Amino acid sequence: MGYPLKKITMADVARLANVSKSTVSQYLNKRYEYMSEKTKKRIEKAIEELGYQPNIVARSLKQKSTGTIGVIVFNILHLLTTQVLRAIEDVCRKRDYHVIVCNSDDHPEKEKKYINMLRAKQVDGLIIFPTGKNIDIYQNMVKEQFPLVFIDRMVPGVNVDAILLDNYKASNIAVDYFYKQGYKKISIVSPPFEQHVIPRTERIEGFQKALSDYGLPIKEEYVVALELSSIKERLKILFTSDDPPEALFAINDLSLMEILAFVKENHLRVPEDVAIISIDDVPFASIFTPALSTIAQPTFEMGEKAADRLFEQITQKNQHVPKLLRFQPTLIERDSAKRLTNKRGKVM
C-alpha cells in the first residue's frame, strides 16, 4: 500500500466481492435491475476498498467509442479559436466527452497528420478549421460517414456540416455604417488574398459588392491585402497620396492591430483623420481611445452549434444531412467611426 502498485482491475474487485466480473460490470454500468441489494453493497465496498478506477481504454476498445473528439484549429493563440473551443468544451462536458486540441498552423501537412492520428486514436468525431488543402482526406471521411464538422471555412465540393460567419453581411454592415456616418472613401485592410481562405475572400468580395450597391467608388488601391508586416508601409503610401481614404475596414483583429499601430505611429486622429471598423470584437475595444466600433462574430454560438451538429452525427450516423450554416455578425457601435460633427469643419 502506497507503493507504485499495479493497477486494480475489475477482476480484483470481483474477487474481493466474491462475484464474477460480469456482475461488477453490470454494477458499473448501473444495470441494477436484477441485482440484489447485498451484492450491490459488496461490490461497492470492494471498489471503495481497492480504490478501483475503471479503464476506459479497455471499454473503448470493446464499445468502439472513446468519448473523445478531436478539434483541429489553426492556432489556439487566436482569440476566435479559444472562444470557439470554450463553447465546444462546454457542450462536451455535459456529455462527459473530452476534447483533444491540435494546432495545424494552417499547414495542410500538419492537418493531415493530425487527422490521421486522431482517427487512429479512434476519436468519435472531428471539428476542423480546415486548411482546405486535403480534399481527398476530407472526402474519404464523408464517404465513410465519419462525424465531421468544418468551422470558419468551408471547402467547396466537400459535403459536410460547416459553420460560417455571414461574411458578406459583415462587410455590408461596415460599408453601410460608414456610408450612413458620411464616409465615402473606404479602404479595406486584410492579410493576403487567398482563394481558399473563405472568410477573407468573402469579406473582400462582400466589401466590393457593398461599395457598388451604395454607389461608392471602388478604387483598386483601397484594397490593401498584404502580409501583416507590409500593411503599415502601404497605408503610409495611401495616406500620403492625393486621395487618401477616410475610413478603414479591418477584416479581422490582426489587420486591426496593424491599422492601430499605423495610426499611432503617424499621429492620426480617429475618427477625425480616419474612421475605423473591424470584424472581431477585440477585448480592448471599449477601453481604447477612441472606443473601437467593431463587428462581432457570435463565436460561442458558433462553437456550440459545431459541437451540437457533431453529436447529432455521432448519435444518428445514418440520416444526418450536411448543412452550411451561416451565423449573423452584429455591429457594436462605439466611437471609432462616428459621424463627424463640425468640430473640424468636416461635414458628412
Q: Residue 107: CB partners within 8 Å, gap ≥ 6?
A: 131
Residue 325 binding a copy of itself, by CB under 8 A: no
Segment near a copy of itself (CB under 8 A); pick from 161-169, 199-207, 234-242, 254-262 = 254-262
Site for a copy of itself in 257-316 (CB under 8 A): 257, 260-261, 264, 282-284, 286-289, 291
Q: CA geometry: angle at 141 spanning 93 and 78, to 5°? A: 50
List the single partner that 33 binds among DNA, a copy of itself, none, CB under 5 to 8 Å by kind: DNA
Segment near DNA (CB under 7 A); pick from 58-66, 81-89, 188-196, 214-222 = 58-66
| Binding track over 59-88 against DNA, x by CB under 7 A | x-xxxx------------------------
Q: How many CA atoms lie within 13 A of 325 on its CB side?
A: 21
Residue 53 binding a copy of itself, by CB under 8 A: yes
Cell of 168: 458578406
Angle of helix 299-315 versus helix 79-94 axis, rounded to 10: 40
Residue 180 amino acid letter: K
Q: What 3-state DSSP class applies to 96? A: coil
Q: Can you tell me the distance from the alpha carbon of 338 to that of 348, in angstroms, rounded to the nearest whole number?
A: 10
List the single partner that 9 binds among DNA, a copy of itself, none, CB under 5 to 8 Å by kind: DNA
List the single partner that 35 binds among a copy of itself, DNA, none, CB under 5 to 8 Å by kind: DNA
Q: Residue 117: CB partners within 8 Å, gap ≥ 6?
A: none
Strands 293-296 and 330-332: antiparallel
Please list, residue by residue across 48-69, b when 16 or more beta carbons sit within 10 angstroms of its beta carbon and e when fewer do.
eeeebebeeeeebeeeeebebb
Q: CA geometry: angle at 77 spanning 101 and 314, to 5°? A: 25
| Binding track over 11-40 against DNA, x by CB under 7 A | x------xxxxxx-xx-xx---xxxx-xx-
Residue 80 binding a copy of itself, by CB under 8 A: no
Neighbour-count burial of 33, counting CB atoms closer than 10 A to its CB (0-12 exposed, 13-18 middle, 19+ buried):
exposed
- Determine which residue in the list 18, 20, 22, 116 makes contact with a copy of itself, applying CB under 8 A: 116
List the single partner that 196 binds among DNA, a copy of itself, none, CB under 5 to 8 Å by kind: none
List the single partner that 283 binds among a copy of itself, DNA, none, CB under 5 to 8 Å by kind: a copy of itself
Which residues would be at the binding site for a copy of itself (CB under 8 A)?
Answer: 2, 4-5, 53-58, 60-61, 66-68, 75-77, 82-83, 85-86, 89, 93, 96, 98-103, 116-122, 143-145, 257, 260-261, 264, 282-284, 286-289, 291, 317
Which residues would be at the binding site for DNA (CB under 7 A)?
Answer: 7, 9-11, 18-23, 25-26, 28-29, 33-36, 38-39, 52-55, 58-59, 61-64
